[in-house]
């Protein structure tokens, strides 16, 4: 059971980015993170669908990408090393990605609890469709049996979270065969579509994600257009992904905490 604190996060802005290039979204995350640090913005949740991309976390190993760079190029897949914890993860069309940029340190929420809540959002979405999602004590994310359907990987900088979760709604699962997801040998990825044996309404899943974020984080959420958000935050062409973080969570062995 989740231990709620009333108004843990009083308010969050939700931005639906539609489909956006990963690197553009990565830069946007850092712009929002700086604005959140300066209290220009409240907490923000970005919802996005990426074109084909592999992201390699700080704990990632190139050998967990099972094909050559040439083959990746032929399939239209870029590979980007980023500052989140964990190993290699695939993002692509049909996968719902959420980036909560939340002031964890200021609100006194722990990292493992934050990850537990991101998992809970995905578990509750799956439950809406009659799918029983579960946690794995050693491997973070959301599982259905032995197959992984939801992924979590975050970084925390100046007490503010970056990156987040990815839920397989209708992706082409063949792309997961190019990697060892999260660096785990023998693990297969699944999707809501595969489990239900039918296409799932992606926009509906997105709305369910907002509802369950509101419930799990005990938070009020307000949708905002991208243009309105950009008008509130300073522009920066680049960021330094090598700046030291307060904490990077790669959590594949930590025991699940519910407090």
pTM over 0.75: yes
Residue 7: pLDDT band (50, 70, 90) is very low
Q: Diameter of the chain by CA atoms?
A: 51
Count of alpha carbons within 13 Å of 15, Cβ hemisphere only?
A: 22
pLDDT digits (tens, 9 = 90+) for 158-186: 999 999 999 999 999 999 999 887 777 77
Tell me what the mean pLDDT of segment 102-116 comes to.
87
Query: How large a percentage of the chain has pLDDT more than 90?
Result: 66
Using the CB atoms, write b or e for 132-168: b if 16+ within 10 Å.
ebebbeebbbbbbeebbbbbbbbbbbebbbbbbbbbb
Count of alpha carbons within 13 Å of 61, Cβ hemisphere only?
A: 9
pLDDT at 119 over 90: yes
pLDDT digits (tens, 9 = 90+) for 31-87: 999 999 999 999 999 999 999 999 998 877 888 898 998 999 999 999 999 988 888
| Per-residue model confidence (pLDDT) at position 236 | 57
pLDDT digits (tens, 9 = 90+) for 11-21: 899 999 999 99
Which has the closest alpha carbon to 59: 201, 183, 174, 236? 183
79 catalytic, yes or no? no
């Amino acid at each position: 059971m989740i231990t709620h604190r009333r108004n843990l996060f009083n308010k969050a802005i939700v931005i639906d980015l539609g489909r956006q290039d990963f690197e553009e979204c990565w830069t946007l995350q850092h712009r929002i993170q700086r604005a959140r640090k300066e209290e220009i913005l409240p907490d923000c949740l970005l919802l996005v669908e990426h074109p084909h991309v592999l992201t390699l976390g700080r704990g990632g190993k190139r050998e967990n990408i099972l094909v050559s760079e040439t083959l990746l190029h032929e399939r239209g897949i870029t590979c980007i090393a980023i500052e989140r914890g964990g190993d290699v993860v695939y993002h692509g069309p049909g996968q719902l990605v959420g980036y909560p940029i939340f002031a964890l340190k200021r609100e006194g929420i722990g990292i493992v609890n934050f990850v537990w809540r991101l998992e809970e959002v995905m578990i509750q979405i799956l439950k809406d469709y009659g799918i029983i999602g579960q946690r794995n004590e050693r491997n973070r994310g959301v599982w259905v049996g032995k197959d992984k359907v939801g992924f979590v990987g975050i970084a925390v900088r100046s007490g503010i979270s970056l990156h987040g979760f990815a839920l397989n709604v209708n992706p082409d699962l063949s792309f997961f065969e190019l990697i060892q997801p999260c660096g785990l040998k023998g693990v297969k990825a699944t999707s809501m579509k595969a489990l239900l044996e039918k296409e799932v309404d992606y926009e509906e899943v997105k709305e369910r994600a907002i509802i369950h974020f509101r419930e799990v984080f005990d938070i009020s959420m307000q949708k905002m257009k991208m243009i309105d958000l950009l008008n509130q935050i300073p522009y920066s062409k680049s960021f330094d992904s090598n700046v030291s973080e307060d904490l990077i969570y790669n959590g594949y062995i930590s025991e699940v905490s519910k407090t």
